[in-house]
Amino acid sequence: MVTALVRYLLADVLRTQRWLPPLLLFGAVLAMLNSSDAGPPLSAYAGTCVFVYPVAVWLTIVIATAEDPVRRTVTVATAGWWRVHAAVATLSALAALFVALLATLAPVLTQPRPYPLSVIAIGFAALLVCGLTGVGVGVLCARPVVTQHGWSVLLAVALVFAAFLFGQVPPIGNVLGALGHDRGIPTALTTSAVCALALTIGGTWLARTLGPRRA
Amino acid sequence: MLRDVSLSVEPGEAVVVTGGNGSGKSTLLRIAAGLSKPSAGTVSRPRSVGWLPERFPSGVRLSARDYLRHQAAVRGVPVRWDLVEALGFVGDPDAPMATLSKGNTQKIALVQALTARDLLVLDEPWSGLDVAAASALRAFLASTTAAVLVTDHHGHDLPGARELPLGATSTGVVIELARVGALLPEVSALEGVLSAAAVGSGARVEVVATHSDQVLASVLRLGCSVRSVRW
């Protein structure tokens, strides 16, 4: 049932074309970062992580709000609040995975430096963790947790900047720091993965709890 | 908004919720469909619920075919194309639903809801439907084995349905009259008249439902002219 829901949400969001701006922006950033020498592979990946995070937030908000509130009530009556929000989180995570894959492969294909498999794996894991963090933040910024679009945008921008303001703290800052200094990467990635999962599951739970009160 | 409402709808039974604007009809339906959580009380509902919102959105980019296919897949049932045809859907099923007329969009939304097996919760299902589609819907609702809960503003006849009036207002009939003038005291003295207020040279009269026919006959005999009758 959740698989069918994910397929429905994907077909619906693809028709809206609202996914285009964040992906275009991300493509432009990837092209810019890789047009010349991006530097040592790990710090190059750290630079991309900075952008994967907000793009994942944006895509998640697009996915969560592609159905208007009335049509969402129809889907909820059909499938239930839990399944609908689980499907939103799942599809957003798949979108984050897609973005992370693009960002992992882009430097491998364009940079003259060698990219050993272990470095690619670390880069992919870091990008995925930052993307998943974006999914969690996006779920928290979208309907039904935040019901007005203006507030969604403001909160999303605030949370994106907040992740960079406090230096090397989880879930984003510690990953960037670890990649930049090539130090304590496994610990940083594990901590951040736990944070990202907690954010996503917590946000989904909040959406499921607030939905019936606000519908 | 709603207080002390107790309602149970059995399989195969139909309940029509009536009441004025803001009497809580839609709230009751949203609670029944599992969309809203009541602040107090309990709700139990079967697994397969179909919900028709009062106004299905008009800007949907998916095609009618894709929308019905995906919704049916979520339920794990086949698409009811027979219902689409029975309701007299005309339009391109492969064009974005945004290009369909209001009536045709309503038909697609209805089919989506009627695909549910156990409980159908329909908010103003007749609005926007032509006569043929309305009678097809009536025939479907009369024969379904699912429990049916609908609101209705227009007094559509649903055979065998139980009525649940909501709100504090008595189920009176409102008669709007023209050419009342000095006859207002006589009109308000008629048996069954709850209230009569002058509106310009006419009047707005609220009548007990059981006396509406006598009151109408009397005001016509008095020489007033009837503008509208609503209930």
Average pLDDT over residues A67-95: 96
Residue A115, amino acid: Y
Is B9 part of any domain?
A: no
What pLDDT is stored for residue A119 in this prediction?
95
Please report the number of interchain residue pairs, chain A to chain B, with beta-carbon separation below 8 angstroms: 76
Asked if the peptide bond before residue A54 counts as cis, ω within 30 degrees of 0, the response is no
The verdict on A76 touching B (C-beta cutoff 8 Å) is: yes
| Domain end marker among B147, B165, B183 | B165
Q: Cα separation of B154 and B119, whole Å? A: 22
Of B66 and B214, the one with more pLDDT = B66
B34 and B129 share one domain: yes
The chain-wide mean pLDDT, for chain B, equals: 88
Buried residues in A114-144 as b, exposed as e (16+ CB within 10 A)? ebeeebbebbbbbbbbbbbbbbbbbbbbbbb
In a domain, B2, yes or no: no
Q: Is residue B83 part of a domain?
A: yes
- Nearest residue on chain B to A2, alpha-carbon basis: B74
Is the CB of B126 inside 8 Å of chain A's CB atoms?
Answer: no
Could you tell me if B74 lies within 8 Å of chain A, comparing CB atoms? Answer: yes
Same domain, B81 and B122: yes
Range of the domain at A149: 2-214
Question: Number of C-alpha atoms within 13 angstroms, CB side, residue A191?
Answer: 15
B169, pLDDT greater than 70: no
Is B121 contained in some domain? yes
- Contact yes or no for B50 and A77 at CB 8 A: yes
My answer on whether B186 and B106 are in the same domain is no
Please tell me the distance in Å from B55's CA to the nearest CA on chain A.
Answer: 8
Contacts of A75 in chain B (CB under 8 A): 71, 74
* Residue B181 belongs to domain with CATH number: 3.30.70.100
B1 located within any domain? no
pLDDT at A203 over 80: yes
* Domain termination residue (choose one: B148, B165, B182): B165
Task: Write down which residue in B165, B189, B216 finishes a domain.
Answer: B165
Mean pLDDT of B51-70: 94
Contacts of A212 in chain B (CB under 8 A): 34-37
Q: Provide the token pair at B200.
A: 């310009």
In chain A, the number of structural domains is: 1
Give yes or no: residues B181 and B157 share one domain.
Answer: no
Q: What digits encode the pLDDT tens for the residues B3-40? A: 788 888 889 999 999 887 778 888 999 999 999 998 88
* CB-CB under 8 Å, A12 with B61: yes
Between residues 2 and 61 of chain B, which touch chain A (CB distance below 8 Å)?
30, 33-37, 49-53, 55-57, 59-61
pLDDT of A96 above 70 = yes
More confident residue, B203 or A156: A156
In a domain, B3, yes or no: no
Chain B residues touching A74 at Cβ < 8 A: 51-53, 56, 71, 109, 112-113
Q: Is A165 on the interface with B (CB under 8 A)?
A: no
Q: Which of residues 169-198 of B touch A (CB under 8 A)?
A: none
Q: pLDDT digits over B122-140, tens only?
A: 999 988 888 899 999 999 9
Q: Are strands B193-199 and B202-207 parallel, antiparallel or unpaired?
A: antiparallel
Which of these ranges, A101-115, A117-131, B144-158, has the smallest mean pLDDT? B144-158
Contacts 24+ apart (CB under 8 A), A98-105: A99/A23, A99/A26, A99/A52, A99/A55, A99/A56, A99/A59, A99/A127, A99/A131, A100/A52, A100/A124, A100/A127, A100/A128, A100/A130, A100/A131, A102/A26, A102/A30, A103/A26, A103/A30, A103/A45, A103/A48, A103/A51, A103/A52, A103/A127, A104/A45
With cut-offs at 50, 70 and 90, classify the pLDDT of residue B154: low
Q: For A41-55, A151-165, B203-217, which range has the lowest pLDDT when averaged over its residues?
A: B203-217
What is the average pLDDT value for chain A, to the nearest integer? Answer: 94
Q: What is the CATH number of the domain that holds B157?
A: 3.40.50.300
How many structural domains does chain B have? Answer: 2
Q: Tokens at residue B104, please?
A: 């045709």
Whether residues B62 and A79 touch (CB distance < 8 A) is answered with: no
Query: Do residues B110 and B19 share a domain?
Result: yes
Predicted confidence at residue A140, as pLDDT, reads 96
pLDDT band at B190 (very low <50, low <70, confident <90, very high): confident
Task: Return the percentage of chain A with pLDDT > 70, whole number.
Answer: 100
Domain interval for residue B187: 173-230
Residue A179 has a pLDDT of 92
Residue B171 pLDDT exceeds 70: no
For residue B7, being part of any structural domain is answered with no
B143 lies in the same domain as B212: no
Pairing of strands B193-199, B119-122: unpaired
Per-residue pLDDT at B98: 94
pLDDT of residue A123 exceeding 70, the answer is: yes
Instruction: Read off the pLDDT band of B155 (50, 70, 90).
Output: low
Mean pLDDT calculated for residue range B143-166: 83
What is residue B214's predicted lDDT score, i.e. its pLDDT? 87
